[in-house]
């Protein structure tokens, strides 16, 4: 899971390439989420760019089955923009109902102590995979 700036950029949707270019200089350009959330990220990037055209991204990952998107509206950390923050919160909430694998409606599942937001099909697949990969107990 995940996409980074060293991946073949020509194979990625333009919206994701634009998002990868927004990473602040001292942060690794990694989108550590499944492909099912990529459309959500592209929409969020477009919305944030309308609010703050030069916004910087610091981190984008899945945490406890939800999108965690850390960004600021400019390179000045003292600037606060409520509309910017609300757009991020809305996308993070949307992720809790969107399968991280395929983008279809989903719910949260705990699989082998990890929280995921998945559709029923991908939850069953991940659970089966987890059972195969789990080390045998002694």
Q: What is the pLDDT of residues 41-84, one digit of tens each?
A: 999 999 999 999 999 999 999 999 999 999 999 877 788 899 99
pLDDT at position 28 over 60: yes
Residue 71 lies in a domain: yes
Position 138 in a domain: no
50 closest CA partner among 94, 14, 87, 95: 87
Do the domain assignments include residue 80?
yes
Which residues does 126 contact at the CB level (< 8 Å), separation at least 6? Answer: 109, 111, 116, 118
Mean pLDDT of 103-116: 94
Q: How many domains is the chain built from?
A: 1
Q: Is the dihedral of CA 118, 122, 127, 132 positive or negative?
A: negative
Q: What domain range is 66 assigned to?
A: 3-133
Domain-located, residue 30: yes
User: pTM score, two decimals?
Assistant: 0.86
Asked whether residue 123 is assigned to any structural domain, the reply reads: yes
pLDDT at 137: 53
């Amino acid at each position: 899971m995940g996409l980074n700036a060293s991946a073949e950029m020509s194979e990625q949707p333009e919206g994701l390439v634009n998002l990868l270019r927004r990473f602040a200089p001292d942060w690794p350009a990694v989108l550590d989420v499944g492909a099912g959330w990529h459309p959500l990220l592209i929409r969020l990037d477009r919305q944030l760019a309308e609010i703050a055209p030069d916004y910087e991204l610091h981190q984008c990952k899945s945490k406890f089955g939800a999108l965690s998107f850390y960004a600021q509206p400019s390179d000045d950390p003292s600037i606060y923009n409520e509309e910017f923050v609300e757009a991020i919160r809305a996308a993070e909430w949307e992720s809790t109902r969107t399968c991280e694998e395929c983008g279809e409606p989903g719910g949260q599942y705990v699989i082998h102590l990890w929280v995921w937001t998945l559709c029923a099909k991908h939850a069953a697949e991940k659970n089966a995979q987890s059972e195969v990969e789990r080390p045998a107990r002694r």
